[in-house]
Amino acid sequence: LNRGNLIEALNYYHNFTLRPLVEVLRIPHQPTRHNFHTRYLYYDLPGEVIAKLESLFFIADGDDLWKKRQIAEDWFFETIDQIKLG
């Protein structure tokens, strides 16, 4: 994003932000499929989690990507903390 390479930035967002987020979100609900990425998400995760994830997968522009990346990263670390405490 800093270099203005939106396509590259979006690819990094999906691979290094959303993919790890989905993996950790599955652990409390369906740990045997933690590495299935988006496959079976709608069957494995609660509706409120799916709704929040959907909002993070669809990006309007570079500014939206900045905002959603931060939301996704915060959610990732919150989920990791919950798993550790669980």
The pLDDT tens digits of the residues spanning 7-63 come to 999 999 999 999 999 999 999 999 999 889 999 999 999 999 999 999 999 999 999
Interatomic CA distance for residues 81 and 37, integer angstroms: 20
pLDDT at position 80 over 90: yes
pLDDT at position 3 over 80: yes
What pLDDT was estimated at residue 34?
84
Q: State the pLDDT confidence band at 2, using cuts at 50, 70 and 90.
A: confident
What pLDDT was estimated at residue 35?
87
Written in H, E and C, the secondary structure of the chain is: CCCCCHHHHHHHHHHHHHHHHHHHHHCCCCHHHCCCCCCCHHHHCCHHHHHHHHHHHCCCCHHHHHHHHHHHHHHHHHHHHHHHHC
What pLDDT was estimated at residue 16?
97
| C-alpha triplet 48, 27, 57: angle, nearest 5° | 45
What pLDDT was estimated at residue 26?
95
79, 21 in Cβ contact below 8 A? yes
